[in-house]
Structure 1
Amino acid sequence: MFKVKTFNQISVKGLERFPRAEYEVGSDINHPEGILLRSHKLHNEVLPESVLCVARAGAGVNNIPLEDYTKRGIVVFNTPGANANAVKELVLAGLLLGSRGVLTGIEYVQSLTHLKDAAEMGKLLEAEKKRFAGKELYGSTLGVVGLGAIGSMVAEMALALGMKVVGYDPALSVEAAWRLPSRVERMENLQSLLSRADYVTLHVPALEATTGLINHDTLKSIKPGARLLNFARDAIVDSTSVVESLNADQGLGMYICDFPEPQLLERKDVIAMPHIGASTAEAEENCAIMAADQLMEFLQNGNIKNSVNFPAVNMPRAEGCCRITFSNDNVSGVLGNVLSIFTDNNVNVVDMMNKSRGDVAYNILDVEAMPNDTIIDQLRQVEHVINVRVLAEA
């Protein structure tokens, strides 16, 4: 039986994915093989040696010490796209709030408590409504930075609204390119996009390369009066630079974000929401279900999907075979040394797959018969091998 320890409140629909006869799941599990969490920070947690994988029910993994876990051979999963629709819909709300005087108009109406006559209030509002006039999204240009699961959905939504869409993503995958509507015009660099767009929305992960992506220098290229939307990660935007641009004559017109900071408050040109981009029942369910399925597939079959630190590997189980998986430092000769042990002990390899990502490699081997403990110990002693797992016949 596999053991999975949970942190945070995980959607019941995700927890129900684990068959009770095969999994013990709970917040008080000792010596788990898997960890399932949302925003709980693991940087100060001492994980038992038994932990093989961690699944984050969400997109960001800045609450997980990736480098340390990679060295230990712990596979870390996230759930890209599971909350994409929730974020997309909030981006639409941000676009509308940033283009029309909705919030200021509502605030004004709520201030009219001194008026008791409906006709009088109606007459006043008819005279004052011009103060809250805005512009339509139709015909405006939206710049989408990051064209992955969420970015491509936002682009498609904007096109449906009659907007022109330009996009920039230096790391666009083939899979993401297929999802992207053909009417999205690709920009060669961020500066070109910023100079073209009336609205700019950010959908990139928080990585070292994207930290402070929007800063004093990049904002020099912003189209005067443009609206900047950040529903991705706070680290992507330097808030001090945003405030400077908002204060400038030819800078930003408005900043709409999901990451409030003290210096952003009490400004009429900032709309800050309380980090609610993925806060829908549907998104939490989708993330939990995806995270649970990825954990089970790895624990039962050794396959890896949507890992942020290990390569994607998916090999069907060979019928009647035992499966061996191992991770290792990505240096030459390791796989050959492992195979030589099988050869010396007359262990027949039926099928295998080897993939690498950065400094780590991962391997799946289906063998005809279960190797004895002596052979497995020899595998673990091979130089640069990080860990070895034995999965019984499926």
Structure 2
Amino acid sequence: MLKALLLENVHPLSVEILTANGVEVITRSGALDENELIEALQGVHMLGIRSKTHVTQKVIESCPDLVAIGAFCIGTNQIDLKAAAHHGVAVFNAPFSNTRSVVELAIGEIISLTRRLTERDKALHDGIWDKTAEGSHEIRGKTLGIIGYGNIGTQLSVLAENLGMSVVFYDTAEKLSLGNAQRVNSMEDLLRVSDIVTIHVDGRPGNAGLFGEAEFAVMKPGAIFLNLSRGFVMDNTALRNAILSGHLSGAAVDVFPVEPKKRGDSFESELRGLPNVILTPHIGGSTLEAQESIGEFVANKMKDYMRTGSTTLSVNLPNLALESTTGVTRVAFLHRNTPGVLAAVNNTLAEFGTNIEGQLLATRGEIGYVVTDTDSSVDIDALKALKSMEQYIRIRVLPPAGVHH
């Protein structure tokens, strides 16, 4: 029987979907460290995590039964994607499901910081009636600079324009601007003209240290800064200095270089206690609507991979859109991408009298994926011959009902 381990309070709908498809599901509320994860994954085929659990090369190498990993979030930088691919472990994420939640949080924080609501709120809670317009502004007419114009950046761009803001953006990749948003040629150009700067880049290693003292210095005096992307892209000490010096009038930070593993843990940061600074515990995508959508999306991707071999939207394996097998048996063969593999697979199957009804091949860098439907069961010796190929990574045999072998 297939087994799945779901960590970090993924949505209950994920459990329902997997259980309904014959999967035994084990859930745990918090994250696990490397050794705990290795122990928990023995005999487990599917792993579901969010951002706190790190799936290292050691974890992948120590868990031979693991076939699929679901990241119930946008980011996958907490997973060694290359190691997973080279051990035949498919990784899926939710690139779109919580986009709206992050955007709405950003809009709310932009308005709150521009109106200095954090200080007005604190004063009243402290029993002080501080009614003043000092330092309080409308966002209408202000320029929003978006660094990273992907799924979140583009949707934020549209909503910000609807609120009367001007939008400029910077992205290293070619991106089509939406509405009246204007692309700038460099991050420095963006920082010089923006009243509010918000970062929405992905978790690739090249983005580490993206924003520091030099970048804050270029920003307009009195500007506002937001980071709802990754903790390691920004120098927190540099932000602290920019706030305390008065160069920046406010900031909102949702992600941190080191984050506690579970709810209720203590949190330390040099950003605590700063004026007009909103700190949130990595909740950009944490709305009930987003978590349900993520749970449904990722669980279905994992279920489809286990039942049919479909790798659509996998972040580390060649993408093949597959439905139920057309034949008696489906052979899903992950391999190192070298010339002649497809011919070798077909020759091997033919040698053992296997007739092919349908076949698809896709490659992604060093990894190849060939899926073959046959009109009969496949001889065990044929499978052994495929496993003996130099390019072999993993082979899975899927009968019509999608039962995992």
> Do they superpose with TM above 0.5?
yes
TM-score (normalised: structure 2) = 0.84
Residues 202-221 of structure 1, C-alpha deviations (whole Å, 9 max, x = no match): 11221111111112344454
The letter of the residue matching 1:129 is: T
- Count residues with an aligned counterpart: 375
2:132 maps to 1:129: yes
Residue equivalent to 1:117 = none
Residue equivalent to 1:118 = none
Give identity over the alignment, percent: 26
1:373-384 → structure 2 map (5 Å cutoff): 373-384=380-391
Residues 15-44 of structure 1, C-alpha deviations (whole Å, 9 max, x = no match): 111253622222478612211222333347
Decide whether aligned partners of structure 1 residues 12 and 262 sit closer, same or farther in structure 2, where only a CA change above 3 A counts: closer
CA distance in 1: counterparts of 2:209 and 2:143, whole angstroms: 23
CA distance in 1: counterparts of 2:20 and 2:42, whole angstroms: 17
CA distance in 2: counterparts of 1:184 and 1:277, whole angstroms: 23
Residue equivalent to 2:264 = none
3-state SS of 2:25 partner: strand
CA distance in 2: counterparts of 1:53 and 1:25, whole angstroms: 14
1:87-106 → structure 2 map (5 Å cutoff): 87-106=102-121
Which of 46, 55, 66 matches 1:51? 66
Deviation of the 1:273 alpha carbon: 1.9
Deviation of the 1:310 alpha carbon: 1.8
Residue equivalent to 1:68 = 83
2:333 maps to 1:326: yes
2:211 maps to 1:198: no
The letter of the residue matching 1:382 is: M
CA distance in 1: counterparts of 2:319 and 2:212, whole angstroms: 33
CA distance in 1: counterparts of 2:163 and 2:287, whole angstroms: 23
Residue equivalent to 2:182 = 185
Confirm or deny: 8 A CA contact 1:2 1:24 kept in the other structure: yes
2:342 maps to 1:335: yes
Residues 65-96 of structure 1, C-alpha deviations (whole Å, 9 max, x = no match): 33332221111111112222221111112101
Decide whether aligned partners of structure 1 residues 353 and 194 sit closer, same or farther in structure 2, where only a CA change above 3 A counts: farther
Decide whether aligned partners of structure 1 residues 312 and 219 sit closer, same or farther in structure 2, where only a CA change above 3 A counts: farther
Decide whether aligned partners of structure 1 residues 107 and 141 sit closer, same or farther in structure 2, where only a CA change above 3 A counts: same
In structure 1, runs of 5+ residues without a counterpart are: 114-120
Decide whether aligned partners of structure 1 residues 105 and 162 sit closer, same or farther in structure 2, where only a CA change above 3 A counts: same
The letter of the residue matching 1:254 is: G
Which of 144, 149, 152 matches 1:150? 152
Decide whether aligned partners of structure 1 residues 36 and 112 sit closer, same or farther in structure 2, where only a CA change above 3 A counts: closer
Confirm or deny: 8 A CA contact 1:354 1:363 kept in the other structure: yes
1:1-394 → structure 2 map (5 Å cutoff): 1-20=1-20, 22-27=22-27, 31-38=43-50, 39-43=52-56, 45=59, 47-112=62-127, 128-131=131-134, 133-171=135-173, 177=176, 181-246=178-243, 251-259=247-255, 262-317=269-324, 319-394=326-401
Higher Rg of the two aligned structures = 1
Deviation of the 1:244 alpha carbon: 4.2
CA distance in 1: counterparts of 2:114 and 2:329, whole angstroms: 60
Confirm or deny: 8 A CA contact 1:53 1:74 kept in the other structure: yes
Decide whether aligned partners of structure 1 residues 383 and 30 sit closer, same or farther in structure 2, where only a CA change above 3 A counts: closer
TM-score (normalised: structure 1) = 0.86
Deviation of the 1:354 alpha carbon: 2.5
In structure 2, runs of 5+ residues without a counterpart are: 28-39, 257-267
The letter of the residue matching 1:12 is: P
CA distance in 2: counterparts of 1:285 and 1:210, whole angstroms: 29
CA distance in 2: counterparts of 1:192 and 1:374, whole angstroms: 63
Deviation of the 1:311 alpha carbon: 2.9
Confirm or deny: 8 A CA contact 2:304 2:310 kept in the other structure: yes
CA distance in 2: counterparts of 1:326 and 1:203, whole angstroms: 36
Confirm or deny: 8 A CA contact 1:148 1:172 kept in the other structure: no
Residues 154-202 of structure 1, C-alpha deviations (whole Å, 9 max, x = no match): 11211211111222222467xxx5xx63432223332222223211211
Decide whether aligned partners of structure 1 residues 21 and 315 sit closer, same or farther in structure 2, where only a CA change above 3 A counts: closer
CA distance in 2: counterparts of 1:147 and 1:329, whole angstroms: 33
